[in-house]
């Protein structure tokens, strides 16, 4: 199944959260928080401004981003958890 986000929506694959602390303690699944980092898998064409012109998105496919913890909608694509969110839910791009 392929998904193409519409307008200013972005398809993000969450990065796996750490399973150990820096001291080596293993974190159980019940105590893990949802990761707030992910990789952009697909982007929409951008949103329309007041003049009806399409404004391109600032993020692109392959970017690693930070997003709000409860932002977006959880979906499964080919058995893998993803999020669809608006560009406004993206807090920043991680520069590597």
- At 33-70, the pLDDT tens digits run 566 788 999 998 888 888 888 888 888 999 999 988 88
Q: Domains, the chain, ranges and CATH?
A: 9-16+34-94 (2.30.33.40)
Q: Is 64 exposed, middle or buried (0-12, 13-18, 19+ CB in 10 A)?
A: middle
Pick from 92, 74, 81, 84: which is nearest to 37 by CA? 92
CA distance 86 to 79: 22
**pTM given for the model:** 0.76
pLDDT band at 15 (very low <50, low <70, confident <90, very high): confident
CA distance 23 to 36: 22
Fill in the DSSP letter of residue 67. E
Helix, strand, coil distribution of the chain in percent, nearest 5: 5, 40, 50
């Amino acid at each position: 199944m392929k998904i193409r986000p519409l307008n200013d929506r972005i398809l993000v694959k969450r990065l796996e959260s750490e399973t150990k602390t820096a001291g080596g303690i293993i974190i159980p699944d019940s105590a893990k928080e949802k990761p707030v980092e992910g990789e952009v898998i697909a982007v929409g064409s951008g949103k329309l401004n007041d003049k009806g012109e399409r404004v391109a998105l600032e993020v692109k496919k392959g970017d690693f981003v930070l997003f709000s913890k409860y932002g977006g909608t959880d979906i499964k694509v080919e058995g893998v958890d993803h999020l669809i969110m608006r560009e406004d839910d993206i807090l920043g791009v991680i520069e590597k």
